[in-house]
Structure 1
């Protein structure tokens, strides 16, 4: 909340802060010869209430029933009340709706003198426990810590704090920012069915990090494979179950997004990419050794297509997170693992195969030629087109060992085929630019043989 908004949050001169003050200002002078007839001073519980958040409220001016509601909302049921999501009214964005578990909703904003609650206890405009709870959540989310050292005055009906409407707090910050502060979902003005479908997709993407079959975030959109392991089947059943609960309570969805943060998602994504790359190379080796094996196996052309798809996945992921240096670093590592595996297979994969007819064209029997030596029309430079767009000084300096291995393979005169001159030129440009911009750390990459 802005400093101007909180300028209203000052303690008024008429505010009761002590028992003596309460008596002096509210009780008439009593004259009696018997001291036993004097009224007892109000208890601290009747004058002041400290919420679970640590903020103190003056409740001396509240009626007994309203005071009980205040204590319930601020203290006794603070943890029991759960906020699901919030939104604005489609035809009037100045009206804010907060949806609480048990199908209860709070409404506030322009045209409302005080917040309204659908729980049924908000009769006659007197605040219910949900309104007191929301007041405290808003003040705690937006007020500086210094206000926790003061005692804030509540209106007699519980509708305002320090003469400040809760809707004013939302006005100052914006509902979406308030939703972030309150750790709840902000729901835009789309149809419920559209929102539910988006939640389903997002949950599938988030939970894919735990998929035992190694699926990537977008794989769940594809049709379910005909054969699933028991572990994978149970995982899918759990995903469906969690999705049902999350749609009913969007707070769960918000917690899931907070738990599976982008950094964790990126690490799992690239671990899976690296695993797929290794499995793809192994599948080619398996095809060469045993074409009738029941294990995963690819011929050269199929292997090349699988690797192209992996490069595309990495390229798209990095483009969607182009401001993340960590993503760029992990993406470069995955691309270099793939490129290193390709340049080390510059040979006829079927040279020793005599038991069956094999392709004679290098583009069909040599993985290096298929992807680098004779790329598809308009295919550009395999891996390098993506790698060259990365921030060289931040990324490539972390992968000098693989870069050196790739360089040695590309410059090896004993290999059957040489890479096109443009490919080698692009590779040298990338590595030379990286070397120019990078200052190797002592004891690190400086000990390695420099590239020429």
Structure 2
């Protein structure tokens, strides 16, 4: 008998709309795809297709998904209702194989069943967790799988080498309250990490481009050709567009890109067959992208500090600092807890992410909003300028050969720190790191010129 967790790998996370809306949307997309395949024009003027829903032609005649009409008035009322329901909201079935076994024809199929998990705010001291599968007596596999994904993305302080203590509700004690944990982390950041699009009642069907999904689609497609995501198909990704027509004639890559945006199951399937070393699976790259997202939110909050209607933790300096220090801590954990040796390309990716994070923080030596203490208003002051907490430097010291590839950028960052001001111990440790990196770069087997430009793009400027 296989362990219960073996079933988790078969699950995929969708955006979890209501079941009826999800099926109607799938039905509309199927019609639109068939209509696109029949058109010969490759023009980019993409008008809306006329998509008809499976509506009854009369009280006694219904139309099927195959566009056939059926007379059903002679059937019992319960059967009529069952036929109408099945044709109005057809199951999402994919035929896998068929065969003849002696006097039997056998068809094997898979049905994609939408599940909806709800995490409600605490009322009596704990969040209310529920799943539409109906297994309420104990945590179901869907709830266990989802909460496991949430913990992976949101818990920064736990030593990943130690086991978490599971509660009866299906989540570890170290997570705290699930609802409050997500509110503190923020749903949009969580969604990036679990490859799930955030939607609202107004945006769910407006066909807006999800920038993060487009970024990850570029990572997936570039890995097929073995090129850097930043260099792959700028004609598509400089100004990406979802398009109302999925099928892009004479351009398979563009078609696959739109399929990755349009179909969550296809995206998760494509992701599942990617290699651990592909850009989309690079943990250091993903943490760097998370920090970029946090800083965009911090900057947006600085210019428009309106109250958040979602009642999530304000996107202020303290919130940003928690995510940034957490990301640095996770990079360190990833280096320490690997089950295989660190490859040179992985070490460079880790060093690049750390240098990028350090540079981004140093560039934000400014007050972004009101606050009682200046370190609550200034991200640089909180993480570097006010006290020596060995921000980033200790982890970079674990990667001297890889970090030496970004020596020019680090020298420029130290110059900026000299202007902004920092604890003497931190500045001394930074200089010692640079001295070590200069020694490492002398005999480094890595190609410095090939990676320097992928870090922070700054000219060398040495300290005097």
TM-score, scaled relative to structure 1: 0.39
Instruction: Point out the structure with max Rg over C-alpha.
Output: 1
TM-score, scaled relative to structure 2: 0.39
